[in-house]
Amino acid sequence: MSENTTNYSRAIVDFLRNIFLPTETARRRSATGDRQGAAKPASRPAVFIALGALPVAMLGVWLAADPVESDRLRLKSKFERPSTIPYPADNVLSAARVDLGRRLFSEPRLSADNTISCATCHKPSQSFTDGQVVSKGVTKAPLRKHTPALWNLAWGHAYLWDGRAPSLEAQAKMPLEHPDEMGQAIEMSATKLVAIPEYVTAFATAFPEQQKIAPESILKALASYQRTLVSPMTRFDRWLDGDPKALSNSEKRGFQTFVGKGGCTNCHSGWAFTDYAFHDVGLDTTGDGRGKVINRPALDHAFKTPTLRELAWTAPYMHDGSMATLEDVVRHYEKGGVNRATRSPDLPRRLDLAERERQDLVAFLKSLSSSRPAHTPIETASSGSTSQASPDGRVTKVGQRDKKFQPTQVSIKAGETLTILNDDSQAHNVFIMDPRLNFDSGWLDPGAQAVIPFPEPGDFEAFCGIHPNMRLKVEVGPNIRSK
Ligand code: HEC
Ligand code: HEC
């Protein structure tokens, strides 16, 4: 604990001692013959008030002893991850649609010259960005805005930096048909796919009510897949859940600046650290922001607040890709940027950070990212049977029905793998955060499975990043077969 917090808690203890000494201690001291307890016994009402305040005060000491802990408790509910993904009534989220959408996302035949797919610019291996300031599509002409990552979009209301797409379905049509991006009419895409038998089957499964591949089904499948791009649970979430060691002291101090004098939560609020709204943060822009879409010049320099999850993998930053590092971004907020009438009043005024505070803030931002670029899964299970046992009776396959690992504890041997099958109706995830084994299954749709290798013996705990109270204990014994 830092010196500051120690002093702070000592001050509180002193304060409380002043309240209680005249009563409790005085009595005890006189009983033990301690003459130095010179304080006069307090009058009855004072004793009463003091005793009544005891539980409250104790709580106060406990909280005040660690201001970070008190922030955590106070703000926990504000940052808690949701347990379900929202979707529109006319595009029900199903495993078949998500699966099809995942395939289409990487399908270059959706472009004019069969070379560009969504994944060309939104690379799944690079956290759904491409690391460029601006990307290029079929014409090789640089695009006007920076390619954003695609995390946590299911909770948004308006898409693209200026919000001109009202839904993910509507958005998907834009890059498909934009002459500089994929450059192909969606009807032509549907015609190309009809010639590929696997797609005919996959569309029939995902959209049984459609006779043939409809252009809107392409959009619905792409949107369904993107709704499942939920940034995984990170160390920050574990800390929020009550594991004090999940964050370093520097990261905790950074969190305090973030929610405190940084004023960052004015816009980067909620578990995804975005209000999904539009603000002018003082960047030097060409004015092609929200204002042009809704005809409000005051919002010409306003762009959508991005999620701050997975930032470690999504540089460069901002709608124009103008900032190479998170430190550049923090320095921008310190300087305040272009001083114009439309600049958001919610920005911090005169944010003056010491070098250490700046580093702490950046460290905190990085704690919202996975330890390696997160991706999406994975194999689809061929059979629905769960809790398989090996020939000697040990469980090697675990299910996830009813939001529980089933069973909740297994023993295997070093060198063996454990298969987790999502046999639930909801999507899950499997996470192991351990210095010896860092595993992240990514999104585990119903029917999908993850295979986890356990190379070394020891006790491990797996949990679901979406439903963190789903926990599985894995006891890995020494490999008796190895010589
Ligand atoms: C040539 C590069 C490129 C390709 C190909 C591409 N995108 Fe994008 N994507 C971008 C850029 C650039 C933006 C930001 C454009 C803007 O806001 O004006 C963007 C924005 C988005 C957004 C908005 C995210 C948000 O936070 O609002 C979504 C969703 C998206 N793309 C999905 C897709 C899908 C689906 C495909 C394939 C059908 C695709 N993109 C193909 C470059 C690309
Ligand atoms: C007034 C609302 C607001 C406040 C306050 C705010 N931000 Fe932002 N932030 C935004 C918007 C809007 C953008 C995108 C701006 C753009 O690209 O034009 C953004 C972008 C960012 C980005 C880049 C993300 C990316 O993917 O490109 C980071 C990092 C960031 N903010 C961190 C912070 C931190 C740290 C603070 C507190 C010091 C903060 N923000 C305060 C609204 C805000």
* pLDDT of res. 53: 62
Residue 34 has pLDDT above 90, yes or no: no
Question: Tokens for 288?
Answer: 């092609």
Q: φ and ψ at 101, to 5 degrees?
A: -60, -40
Query: For the residues of 85-119, what is the DSSP string, one character each?
Result: ----TTS---HHHHHHHHHHHT-GGGSTTS---HH
pLDDT digits (tens, 9 = 90+) for 385-440: 344 555 455 677 899 988 899 999 998 888 778 889 988 888 888 988 888 888 88
Q: How far is the CA of 181 from the centre of ligand 1 (A)?
A: 9
pLDDT digits (tens, 9 = 90+) for 330-341: 999 999 999 999
- Per the CB < 8 A criterion, the answer to whether 408 and 430 are in contact is no
Which of 267, 332, 366, 369 best tests ligand 2's pocket when mutated (most atoms within 8 Å of CB)?
267
Run of H or E including 411: strand 409-413
Cβ of 259 below 6 Å from ligand 2 = no
| CA dihedral of 267, 270, 272, 274, whole degrees rounded to 10 | -20
* pLDDT of res. 385: 35
Question: From CA 34, how far away is CA 38, in angstroms rounded?
Answer: 9
Domains of the chain: 3-65 (no CATH), 95-227 (1.10.760.10), 235-366 (1.10.760.10), 379-477 (2.60.40.420)
Which residues neighbour 60 within 8 Å (Cβ) at sequence distance 6 or greater? 12, 16
Measuring CA to CA, how many Å separate 265 from each of 99, 269, 308, 345, 460? 35, 5, 11, 13, 35
Helix ranges, 178-232 (H) = 186-194, 197-206, 215-227
Q: How far is the CA of 340 from the centre of ligand 2 (A)?
A: 17
The chain-wide mean pLDDT, for the chain, equals 84
- Per the CB < 8 A criterion, the answer to whether 274 and 152 are in contact is yes
DSSP 8-state class, residue 460 = E
Length of the chain: 483
* pLDDT of res. 376: 52
Instruction: Identify which has the larger pLDDT, 1 or 59.
Output: 59
Q: How far is the CA of 227 from the centre of ligand 1 (A)?
A: 14
Report if pTM > 0.85. no
